[in-house]
Each structure stands twice: as C-alpha cells, then as structure tokens.
C-alpha cells in the first residue's frame, strides 16, 4: 500500500506532521532534499577532487625537481623539491622567447574577449530587441553555424593570411576570433529576458539614437552575461593551440605554442618543461580563484537554456 501524500498529511494532521513526513521521505530520494548527504558522498567527491588536482600538483612537483630526480623516482614524493625557481629561470633564459609568449597570450586573450563581448552584445541586442526583416532566419543561421567545423577551413584561411601578409603576425590569431556565433547566441538569449522593452522605448522617446540606446541601456543590462562570455572567451583564447601553431612561428608565438617549442628543445629534461607548464597554468588558476563561481554559473545557465 502506498503512503498518503505530504499534502494529504498536512490536511489531516497539520503542518508539523507534514514537515516530518516530508523529511522522512526525503531520506529515501536524495536529490534536492533537505537532508544532508552522508560520508560516502563526500568521500566520492573528495576522490573526484583529487583526480582534478593531482595532475596539476604533479606538474608542480616535477617542476620543483631535477631531471635526475624524475628518472630516479618515477612516483614523485608529495613534498616539492627546491628547484622550482632555478627551473623557471632556465625557462625564461632559454632561447624560445617565453616571456614574449606570455605577453602575446595576454594581448590576444584580452583583445579577443573585449571584442567578442562588444560585438556579441551588439548583435544580441539587435536580435533580441529590434525588429527587422529576416531576423528569424538570420538568427537560425547564427545558431546553425555553431555546428560548422570551421577548423577544417584552415588551408584557405592560411592562404588569406598569406595574401594579407599576416603570416607570423599576432593579428592573424586575433582577427578570426573577434566575434563568435556562440557569443551572439548567448547574448541574444540573455537580453531577450533581461532587457525590458519599456526601457528601450523610454530611451527612444527621450531622443536617444539606436547606438546611444545600446550603449547606455542594453550594455549595462547585459553585464552579468557579458562577464561570463568574456571569461569563457578568455579561457578559450588562452588555451587555443591549433591555429596559432599553424600561423605563428619563431619567437612571436602564444603560450601553448611556446610550450611546444619548450618540449622540442628540452625533451630530455621534464623538470624544465613542467616549469613552463606551471607558468602557463598559473594565470588561469588565479582567474579561476577569482571568477570560478561565474564560470560554474555560466556553464549551468547555458545548459538550462541550450
């Protein structure tokens, strides 16, 4: 026989009884319930966390040891060695322009993020709030392009860059990423719900031009979503390898390509390579500590909508 519903209990036996019944029941199905999970849950999560962190800590351990240590102890001791700064210095002194690569990565990531946010918000504002012919089909087109493997067009893209004389130049990496379909779609979705028509109308009645309306009404309203989009773009740009690897060369590269050069130069000394890895990861880890919350929220919101 099945038990009466919580609502029924409330009706017959009062609120207190209903609450107790609900709590009792929640013990049997955990999701979203009031009850706190038991130690098994936390143990499993701790294991997941160790798997998440250990490879990074491992890189740090190797980066603070020497090639000899690594050869002698394939399983590194959990206490770091004392050679981290030596190794870092060697990476910067090596003839691969590591510092220049750091600068390049910062430039590319910052410019790309700002530009993607600006152009995506502009397009999102138009798609979400302005009326124009062909709006629906054009938006469908934008969404469809997110599924197009544009990476497969690298060969003609390389030829285009060669025509422009941009091979080996930073703008060859920056320009193709100035605005993305995902960004446009993301901002359209957000502005549809976050920006009331009344605000736009009020601005228009006050005589603001379209661009003025965008700049002082839509852009501020878009801030939460724009921050997330900027963060994701930054991470994507910082970790991007394929295209920079093809188009950049010599000393004028971004960090992932510099790591590849580091590997090619020092493949016999893992401690130096790992020092480079640690250096390349630290900036994003700092960003993650500051803004990881927003990254989590961004993924979860995108998932609900997408």
Candidates 11, 20, 77, 150: give the one binding another protein (CB under 8 A). Answer: 150
Q: Which structure tokens are listed for 281?
A: 């990861």
Nearer to another protein, 153 or 168 (CB): 153
Q: Does 184 bind another protein (CB under 8 A)?
A: yes
Give residues 5-24 in contact with another protein (rule: CB under 8 A): 5-6
The closest alpha carbon to 183, from 138, 145, 130, 238, belongs to 145
Site string for another protein, 98-117 (x = CB under 8 A): --------------------
Measure Cα distances from 197 to 129, 191, 193, 204 in Å. 7, 10, 10, 11
Distance of closest approach, residue 207 Cβ to another protein, in angstroms: 9
Q: What angle do CA 229, 233, 236 make, to 5 degrees?
A: 140
The rounded distance, in Å, linking the Cα atoms of 46 and 201 is 52
Nearer to another protein, 79 or 152 (CB): 152
Distance of closest approach, residue 187 Cβ to another protein, in angstroms: 11
DSSP-based three-state secondary structure for 1: coil
Q: Tell me the window of 96-104, 106-114, 195-203, 262-270 that interacts with another protein (CB under 8 A).
A: 262-270
Give residues 55-84 in contact with another protein (rule: CB under 8 A): 55-56, 58-59, 62, 70-71, 74-76
Measure Cα distances from 61 to 49, 54, 262, 277 in Å. 18, 10, 18, 12
The rounded distance, in Å, linking the Cα atoms of 98 and 90 is 10
Q: What angle do CA 164, 170, 173 make, to 5 degrees?
A: 80
What is the dihedral angle through the alpha carbons of 29, 34, 39, 42, rounded to the nearest 10 degrees?
100
Candidates 152, 193, 197, 198: give the one binding another protein (CB under 8 A). Answer: 152
Q: Tell me the window of 10-18, 43-51, 96-104, 106-114 that interacts with another protein (CB under 8 A).
A: 43-51
Nearer to another protein, 15 or 72 (CB): 72
Candidates 9, 91, 174, 179: give the one binding another protein (CB under 8 A). Answer: 179
Q: Does 25 bind another protein (CB under 8 A)?
A: yes
Give residues 200-259 in contact with another protein (rule: CB under 8 A): 209-211, 214, 235, 238-239, 241-242, 245-246, 255-256, 259
Size of the site for another protein (CB under 8 A): 108
- Is-contact 188 127, C-beta < 8 A? yes
Nearer to another protein, 85 or 242 (CB): 242
The rounded distance, in Å, linking the Cα atoms of 25 and 20 is 9
């Amino acid at each position: 026989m099945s038990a009466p519903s919580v609502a029924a209990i409330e009706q017959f036996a009062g609120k207190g009884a209903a609450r107790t019944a609900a709590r009792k029941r929640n013990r049997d199905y955990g999701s979203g319930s009031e009850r706190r999970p038991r130690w098994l849950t936390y143990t499993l999560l701790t294991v997941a966390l160790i798997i998440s962190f250990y490879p990074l800590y491992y890189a740090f351990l190797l980066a603070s040891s020497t090639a000899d240590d690594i050869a002698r102890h394939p399983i590194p001791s959990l206490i770091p060695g004392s050679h981290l700064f030596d190794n870092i210095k060697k990476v910067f002194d090596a003839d691969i322009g590591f510092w220049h690569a750091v600068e390049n990565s910062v430039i590319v990531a910052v410019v790309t993020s700002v530009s993607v946010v600006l152009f995506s918000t502009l397009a999102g504002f138009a798609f979400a709030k302005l009326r124009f012919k062909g709006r629906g089909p054009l938006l469908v087109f934008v969404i469809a392009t997110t599924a197009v493997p544009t990476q497969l067009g690298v060969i003609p893209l390389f030829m285009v860059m060669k025509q422009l004389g941009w091979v080996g130049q930073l703008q060859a990496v920056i320009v193709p990423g100035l605005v993305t379909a995902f960004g446009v779609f993301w901002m359209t979705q957000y502005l549809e719900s976050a920006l009331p028509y009344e605000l736009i109308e009020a601005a228009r009645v006050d005589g603001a031009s379209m661009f003025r309306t965008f700049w002082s009404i839509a852009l501020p309203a878009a801030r939460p979503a724009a921050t997330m989009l900027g963060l994701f773009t930054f991470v994507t740009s910082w970790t991007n390898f394929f295209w920079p690897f093809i188009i950049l060369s010599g000393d004028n590269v971004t960090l992932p390509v510099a790591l590849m050069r580091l590997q090619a130069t020092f493949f016999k000394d893992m401690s130096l390579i790992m020092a480079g890895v640690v250096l390349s990861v630290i900036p994003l880890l700092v960003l993650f500590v500051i803004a990881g919350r927003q990254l989590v929220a961004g993924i979860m919101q995108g998932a609900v909508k997408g």
